[in-house]
Amino acid sequence: MSSENKQDKQAAMSAIAKINAVEGFDPTPLAVEYSDLNGGESRLRLPVMAQLAWFRLKYPEGRIAITVASGKECFVATARIYHHFSDQPEQFLSEATASRGPLPDKPSVSPREWAQTAAVGIALRNAGFGLQFGAAGDSFDSPAVDELGGIIWSNDPSTEPPISEPEQPTPVAPIAPPAPQETPLELAMRQLCPIAKYKDKTLGELVQLDPKALVWVANKFTGDAVLSDAAKLICEQALQETA
């Protein structure tokens, strides 16, 4: 490789290293060796827990949505990476699917959690949270048993949050115009007569039924000053109308 090509490659690697860069955080020392179950080849990759930590550092309000379906002797998990918890279902940064079945020699490994771990790890790698070139063989064939217990998946098999319909404004009842206030004379006319003979009549009705009874309430009744004053007002109004 020529010196010029080496410089170009180094420049490219430096640029790639800036993907999802977080000040003060270098994921490289967290890389570990995993053996590929298919070929036995050892490869470096980031544990899923390290990827999750890196993702949280970069996107504190991000979210990871996971769905799991039962297949024939396996579980199929799909993971989607979102930079913000409010993103719509189709606005994901990356998506990955992984299927895993039971391991006869490792019965304690849950194939469901293994599938979820693999899907999340691949999705995070696809979103740029991996050893961009050094982990080119991130196949996740080897069950990372020590990772499964440390991850708590809160999502059920259908984890995409429902898209809530926009709230419709609550109809506001028209405000009724304020009722016109009664005049003092109108209030006086509605007062009930204190005389037993006319107990169901108002002072206003006494004007026609028995004017003398109204005058008595106005001048001689002492049981309720309000009623007396009301009767006096009615009498005064009647005098003004007849004057």
Task: Please give the Cα distance from 147 to 52 (Å, whole number).
Answer: 11
pLDDT top residue among 203 and 139: 203
Same domain, 128 and 235: no
Same domain, 222 and 136: no
Lowest mean pLDDT among 59-68, 107-116, 126-135, 190-199: 126-135
In a domain, 7, yes or no: no
Task: Please give the Cα distance from 215 to 231 (Å, whole number).
Answer: 7
Lowest mean pLDDT among 4-8, 59-63, 111-115, 147-151: 147-151
In a domain, 228, yes or no: yes
Same domain, 86 and 201: no
Among 132, 148, 164, residue at a domain's last position: 148
Same domain, 136 and 32: yes
* pLDDT of 148 higher than 80: no
Same domain, 143 and 191: no
In a domain, 109, yes or no: yes
pLDDT for 161: 39
Task: Please give the Cα distance from 203 to 98 (Å, whole number).
Answer: 91
Secondary-structure percent of the chain, ordered helix, strand, coil, rounded to 5:
40, 15, 45
Same domain, 218 and 133: no
* pLDDT of 237 higher than 70: yes
* pLDDT of 139 higher than 70: no
pLDDT top residue among 36 and 239: 239
Task: Please give the Cα distance from 66 to 158 (Å, whole number).
Answer: 8
* pLDDT of 42 higher than 80: no
* Mean pLDDT estimate for the chain: 78
In a domain, 10, yes or no: no
Among 120, 148, 176, residue at a domain's last position: 148
Q: E strands along the chain, which residues?
A: 32-35, 42-45, 63-71, 74-82, 94-100
Q: What residues make up the domain containing 88?
A: 25-148
As a whole number of Å, the end-to-end CA separation of the chain is 125
Same domain, 40 and 138: yes
**What band does 69 get if pLDDT is binned at 50, 70 and 90?**
very high
* pLDDT of 147 higher than 80: no
pLDDT top residue among 145 and 51: 51
**What band does 158 get if pLDDT is binned at 50, 70 and 90?**
very low
- Based on the structure, what is the number of domains in the chain? 2
* pLDDT of 197 higher than 70: yes
In a domain, 168, yes or no: no
Task: Please give the Cα distance from 230 to 25 (Å, whole number).
Answer: 88
* pLDDT of 43 higher than 80: no
Question: Does residue 193 contact residue 207 with C-beta atoms inside 8 Å?
Answer: no
Task: Please give the Cα distance from 13 to 154 (Å, whole number).
Answer: 36
**What band does 39 get if pLDDT is binned at 50, 70 and 90?**
low
Same domain, 188 and 144: no
Task: Please give the Cα distance from 89 to 77 (Å, whole number).
Answer: 16
Taking CA 13 as the corner, what is the angle to CA 12 and CA 17, rounded to the nearest 5 degrees? 120
15-41: average pLDDT: 80
Burial of residue 94 (CB within 10 Å: 0-12, 13-18, 19+) is: middle
In a domain, 17, yes or no: no
pLDDT top residue among 152 and 7: 7
pLDDT for 97: 94
Same domain, 52 and 96: yes
In a domain, 110, yes or no: yes
Nearest to 82 by CA among 93, 71, 90: 93
* pLDDT of 143 higher than 60: no
Among 148, 174, 200, residue at a domain's last position: 148
Same domain, 106 and 221: no
In a domain, 6, yes or no: no
pLDDT for 181: 59
